[in-house]
Amino acid sequence: MKYLGRFLFVMIVFLSLAGCSQFLHSEELLGEEERSSLEVAVNSDTGQGTLDLVTPTITDGDTEIEIKMTGIDENKTTFISVANEDVFEGKIKNNEVYTLDISDIKDARRTDYNPKVQLLQTSNDEESGDIVTFKQVRYSVEKE
């Protein structure tokens, strides 16, 4: 009886995992719009233009990071975040250097991983809209 309980437990786990594999391949069922959003999540880069770091390496004592965009739609509202915290919302100009204040962002100066800067533009100029442009770059932080 003791072994029967273990056998049933193993079978339930196996059947549960086998059922989950259907979800992993469900992207075939997605429409074009959902597939596009899925590609953004997987590829981490969509839309025209580039996001470049003027300062690809900072020290843990720095309080600013500089970025520059080229080929980005200047007419759309741009949302920029550093280490997953919003730092900018507004219209941008291409080929200009933007200085972002990271002094209050907890994870922006961690040395145990490379933090990221993300740029987002949406179809309706609201952060919750459909993604039109998404760019992401990582920078490194060295001890001072």
Considering the entire predicted model, what is its pTM? 0.69
Q: Does residue 3 or residue 81 have the better pLDDT?
A: 81
Q: Does residue 73 or residue 34 have the better pLDDT?
A: 73
Model confidence at 33: pLDDT above 70: no
Q: Which pLDDT value is given to residue 58?
A: 94
CB 86 within 8 A of CB 120: no
Q: Which pLDDT value is given to residue 84?
A: 93
pLDDT per residue as tens digits for the range 92-125? 999 999 999 999 998 999 999 899 999 999 999 9
Token pair for 103: 């002094």
What are the residues whose beta carbons fall under 8 Å from the beta carbon of 82, sequence distance 6 or more?
65, 100, 102, 105, 108, 115, 116, 117, 118
